[in-house]
Copies of this chain bind each other. A is one copy, B any other.
Amino acid sequence: MLICISSNKLQQEIQTKPEAHLFEEILYCNIGNPQSLGQQPITFFREVLALFDHPSILDKSETQGLISADSIERAWQILDQIPGRATGAYSHSQGIKGLRDNIAAGIEDREGFPADPNDIFLTDGASPAVHMMMQLLIRSEKDGILCPIPLYPLYSASIALHGGALVPCYLDEATGWGLKVSELRKQLETARSKGITVRALLVINPGNPTGQVLAEENQKAIVEFCKQEGLVLLADEVYQENVYVPGRKFHSFKKVSRSMGYDEKDISLVSFQSVSKGYYGECGKRGGYMEVTVFSADVREQIYKVASVNLCSNIFGQILASLVMSPPRVGDESYESHNAERDGILSSLARRAKTLKDAFNKLEGVTCNKAEGAMYLFPRICQPEKAIKVAEATKTAPDAFYCRHLLTATGIVFVPGSGFGQVS
């Protein structure tokens, strides 16, 4: 947060007093915000959204010269899914039913297990979905959520805001940020011995900020652990398209648990997805959904109640969330070009992840695991004794001290690892 405020200030200074700094721009490497770093939006998605925005151009002849035929067809389909074609109305608080149908069909196609549109809750990005679940899970400071450390700060902030206890489970840097069930069990027992009721386990896969992609066997062990201990499994799967190494593949926790023969009677599962990540990177659209497979109808009704407090999520985000789960198909005019855009972005992300990791590992005193997925690297930086002493003298964590200096000297924004709860 401090780094963000400093970089905002610096950004203003560069505009008002460009001569005061040695660099001309701020490079924001502190957040997965790809379009701010030059990534182009995906044409098909933007065409459909533009048509939906202003449907009166849908049947104009000029439009056919501007927009591909399948985008026009898709916009008509979506328009027909909206009650009364009212493109500017509040929707059902869970999201437009037809769009949830598309998403459920997309999940089913991919996984081969049934998905129910009534289990889908469309949200303004994944963050509000996370807050909703925390609000429902946390009753008092005695309720805990088991979380991997280092941890994306959204989760620590949300648990704190809702007054719960964050139960840490340390990822093992030496084995590529593995999540060991033995560590999970140890931390669960420690928490219980302190009188904490652990209600859920959060897993971020591919990992944020650590970039690992879990092996299927590891996922099975995690599912088994949650089933045995009666924990809700919160699966942050927003980087599901961002896998960069040949040996790894994304498997949703729902698919893994269904393939083990478990259904919603055996394990309560919430999966988060977002339009902000993947190859789309549409952060500003604020679209996403959660798929909630739980046995109790009561729980779903409570989630619906909480969702309805903000009326509905934005319709554009809803449409985009359905489009990323139902991209152009073979035979569609956009099919080839869409895939080319997608592959271009994903291979560029993979290339940059490797280049940066290699560069880090060439620096003196720096080591860095590879990013198997997601959008982040989490290097370990050994600082000289003197630097650590100066940092401590100013009551700053050494890594925050390093990041502060990196920012003022180069304009590059890093987030200190201590901000993710990592040990130094």
Residues of A participating in the B interface, judged by any CB pair closer than 8 Å? 1, 4, 8, 31, 33-36, 38-39, 41, 43, 46-47, 49-51, 53-54, 56-57, 60, 62-63, 65-67, 83-84, 86-92, 124-125, 127-128, 131, 135, 154, 157-158, 161, 276, 281-286, 305, 308-317
Contacts and interface: CB of A to CB of B under 8 A. Distances in A.
A314 B311 contact: no
Nearest to A316: B316
Nearest to A128: B310
A154 B309 contact: yes
A341 to B, nearest CB: 13
A81 to B, nearest CB: 13
Nearest to A92: B8
Given A50-B50, A65-B62, A90-B284, A127 B309 contact: yes
SS of A interface (majority)? helix
Given A4-B308, A54-B46, A308-B1, A35 B86 contact: yes
B87 A35 contact: yes
Contacts of A88: 35, 39, 41, 281-285
A31 to B, nearest CB: 7
B310 A36 contact: no
Give the most central of A62, A135, A157: most B CB within 10 Å.
A62
Give me the 6 closest cross-chain CB pairs, A-B, nearest first.
A36-B89, A284-B315, A50-B54, A286-B314, A35-B88, A62-B62
Given A38-B84, A88-B285, A128-B310, 8 more contacts: A35-B89, A36-B86, A38-B86, A41-B88, A50-B57, A57-B66, A284-B312, A314-B316
A284 B46 contact: no
Contacts of A283: 88-90, 311-312
A127 B53 contact: no
Nearest to A46: B54
A140 to B, nearest CB: 11
B157 A127 contact: no
Contacts of A314: 124, 284-286, 314, 316-317
A127 B92 CA distance: 16
A387 to B, nearest CB: 29
A113 to B, nearest CB: 25
A33 B308 contact: no
Contacts of A41: 87-88
A82 to B, nearest CB: 9
B38 A49 contact: no
B284 A89 contact: yes
Given A36-B84, A66-B60, A66-B62, A125 B54 contact: no
A361 to B, nearest CB: 30
A286 to B, nearest CB: 4
A91 B135 contact: no
A91 B46 contact: no
A34 B88 CA distance: 9
A86 B4 CA distance: 19
Among A276, A286, A308, chain B packs the most CB atoms within 10 A around the CB of A286
Nearest to A309: B157
A83 to B, nearest CB: 7
Nearest to A305: B1
A22 to B, nearest CB: 20
Contacts of A305: 1
Given A87-B41, A90-B36, A310 B135 contact: no
Contacts of A282: 88
A49 B57 CA distance: 13
